[in-house]
RNA sequence: GGCUGGAUGGCAGAGUGGUCAUGCAGCGGACUGCAACUCCGUUAACGCCGGUUCGAUUCCGACUCCAGCCUCCA
């Protein structure tokens, strides 16, 4: 039985799709004005694992993840650069796709862009205005009327009156109520916008997601996801807009991935603890980064550090060491084993990847044990390990690829082979001094020699 | 101040009312010329104070501390 934690009810619930066998899932994607940072990667990888697993469970998944490609931050950055905002977003969307591919994040089925859905956005705002759930202010902006939506706060568990206490009153306030938020921003002067019944302008951020999700998946759909920092106000506002417009429940299940921290604080540019995906990938293997992101449960915070990356590195080395020497391709994966059952039980329990990993380690242990005694079984276990790991998007390389290459180290395989051959001769001559000298030389090249019964192998020191 | 989540062995990180997480590191042994890899064995934890219970790290309450959200944020 598949159970998913639902932020709306704050409990783990048995998951039941609206239509048997099918799942519609919408995840808030990226505002594309810069390179992806590790926090973005966390979200992308978390929902990549979710969708991979749901598909493995036999569901036909329609995964929709939007791109916010019109926004004040984008326009400001474009202005700084002196370029068209669409040139800026095109560039960073391409960069985002590159980073996703590096991290083995599968593309969503639909990737709607805000600028491609202006019609739906305008239609939804029109409907809200007609229903008296929104109003046009004096300057042409259109605001959502929070007061007219009694359920406001049901997702983030905030009380209407407490929100009023905390709300900032801005100078020159045009809102009827400080809690109201913008649906349509008037922009008569800057030349970036679209015509609308309320004049030339641009959509607010929250309405984009309401329009794109209901447009792609229907008024009521199965799962809505995103980072926990979006829960309020973004997701709360989405619920308000969508349910006010459609008079039906919006998403059935809300999933929120935990934050990525650095030095126990949220990663942010102002704290100067900000890491982009591509700068980390200059020194660490993408699979190592991916492992780090799924070694903790998706709802828990992850504290990023060099140490945690090194730990993920040794863990992957253990996996690949165990796969070394196995014939996976021609072996048939073990089916219906206790390992597989335990793995699925862990994943069925709200995608418990840490527990799933503990099962993978049990398989590793069994492989290492069986390598000598029952090579056929070892191969079958190896195939099982790779099959299950693929659901997490790891162990996608071969042992040789992973253990013998490194993004930050270049090796000359021919030279290594020559040195190993020379050492083999020295060892045959029992010239231990020379053999150790050669091994030290290899070590200086970041190459670790491993002697086995059938000759000496090597790997890169990480 | 309000709301939400958390506090587990040296580190990372699951979970459970009574028996084992798991990985890294450590310790003892096997293998090895010595290492590395691997194997076998092994030490070690549940923030603090009460309560419920035959029994609580797990349930309940108070407290302390930490983080996130309350403003753009994955």
Nucleotide whose C1' lies closest to the alpha carbon of residue A423: B33
Q: What pTM was estimated for this model as a whole?
A: 0.95
State, as a whole number of angstroms, the distance between the CA of A369 and the C1' of B31.
Answer: 14
Cα→Cα distances A279→A112, A214, A289, A291, Å: 27, 36, 12, 17
Measured CA to CA, the distance from residue A456 to residue A182 in angstroms comes to 67
Q: Which nucleotide is nearest to A426 (CA to C1')?
A: B33
> How far is residue A331 from each of residues A107, A322, A325, A343, A379, measured CA to CA in Å?
29, 15, 13, 20, 6
Q: Which nt is closest to the CA of A350, judged by C1'?
A: B14
Query: pLDDT digit of tens for each residue in chain A (462 aa)?
Result: 999 999 999 999 999 999 999 999 999 999 999 999 999 999 999 999 999 999 999 999 999 999 999 999 999 999 999 999 999 999 999 999 999 999 999 999 999 999 999 999 999 999 999 999 999 998 899 999 999 999 999 999 888 877 776 555 554 567 888 899 999 999 988 889 999 999 999 999 999 999 999 999 999 999 999 999 999 999 999 999 999 999 999 999 999 999 999 877 888 776 777 899 999 999 999 999 999 999 999 999 999 999 999 999 999 999 999 999 999 988 889 988 999 999 999 999 999 999 999 999 999 999 999 988 899 999 999 999 999 999 999 999 999 999 998 887 778 899 999 999 999 999 999 999 999 999 999 999 999 999 988 789 999 988
Q: With CA atoms as reference, report the closest residue to A322 among A374, A373, A386, A391.
A: A386
Helix axes A375-392, A38-56, angle to 10 degrees: 120
Positions of chain B reached by protein Cβ under 7 A:
1-5, 11-15, 21-25, 32-40, 66-74
Q: Which residue is nearest to nucleotide B23 (CA to C1')?
A: A315
- CB A110 within 8 Å of CB A67: no
Question: What one-character-per-residue DSSP string does A232-278 give?
Answer: IIIIHHHHHHHHHHHSS--EEEEEEEPPEEETTEE--TTTT---BHH
Q: What is the ipTM of this complex?
A: 0.95
**CA A458 – C1' B67 distance (Å)?**
43
Which residue is the nearest neighbor of B36, CA to C1'?
A450
Q: Give the distance, in angstroms, between residue A277 CA and nucleotide B13 C1'.
A: 23
Which nucleotide is the nearest neighbour of A319, by CA and C1'?
Answer: B23
Nucleotide nearest to A168 (CA to C1'): B71
């Amino acid at each position: 039985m598949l159970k998913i934690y639902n932020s709306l009810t704050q409990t783990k619930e048995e998951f039941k799709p609206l239509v048997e066998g099918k799942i519609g899932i919408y995840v808030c994607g990226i505002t594309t004005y810069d390179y992806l940072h590790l926090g973005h990667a966390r979200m992308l990888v978390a929902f990549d694992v979710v969708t991979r697993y749901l598909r493995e469970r036999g569901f036909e998944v329609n995964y929709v993840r939007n791109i916010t490609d019109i926004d004040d931050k984008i326009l400001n950055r474009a202005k700084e650069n002196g370029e068209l905002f669409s040139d800026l977003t095109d560039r960073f969307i391409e960069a985002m796709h590159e980073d996703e591919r590096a991290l083995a994040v599968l593309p969503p089925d639909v990737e709607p862009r805000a600028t491609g859905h202006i019609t739906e956005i305008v239609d939804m705002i029109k409907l809200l205005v007609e229903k008296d759930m929104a109003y046009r202010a004096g300057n042409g902006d259109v605001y959502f009327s929070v007061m007219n939506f009694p359920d406001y706060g049901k997702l983030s568990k905030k009380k209407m009156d407490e929100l009023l206490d905390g709300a900032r009153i801005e100078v020159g306030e045009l809102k009827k109520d400080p809690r109201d938020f913008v649906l349509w921003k008037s922009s008569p002067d800057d030349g970036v916008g679209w015509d609308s019944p309320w004049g030339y302008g641009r959509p607010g951020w929250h309405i984009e997601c309401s329009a794109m999700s209901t447009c792609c998946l229907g008024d009521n759909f199965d799962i809505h996801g995103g980072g926990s920092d979006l829960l309020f106000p973004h997701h709360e506002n989405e619920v308000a807009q969508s349910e006010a417009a459609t008079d039906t429940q919006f998403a059935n299940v809300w999933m929120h991935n935990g934050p990525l921290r650095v030095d126990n604080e949220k990663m942010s540019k102002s704290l100067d603890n900000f890491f982009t995906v591509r700068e980390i990938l200059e020194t660490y293997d993408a699979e190592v980064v991916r492992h780090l992101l799924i070694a903790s449960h998706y709802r828990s915070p992850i504290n990023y550090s060099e140490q945690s990356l090194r730990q993920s590195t040794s863990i992957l080395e253990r996996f690949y060491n165990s796969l070394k020497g196995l014939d996976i391709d021609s072996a048939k994966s073990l089916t219906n084993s206790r390992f597989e059952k335990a793995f699925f039980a862990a994943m069925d329990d709200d995608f418990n990847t840490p527990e799933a990993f503990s099962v993978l380690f049990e398989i590793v242990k069994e492989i290492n044990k069986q390598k000598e005694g029952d090579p056929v079984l070892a191969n079958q276990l190896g195939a099982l390990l790779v099959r299950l790991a693929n659901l997490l998007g790891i162990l996608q390389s071969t042992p040789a690829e992973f253990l013998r290459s490194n993004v930050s180290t270049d090796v000359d395989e021919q030279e290594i082979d020559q040195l190993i051959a020379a050492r083999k001769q020295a060892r045959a001559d029992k010239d231990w001094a020379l053999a150790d000298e050669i091994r030290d030389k290899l070590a200086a090249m970041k190459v670790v020699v491993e002697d086995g019964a059938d000759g000496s192998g090597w790997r890169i020191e990480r």
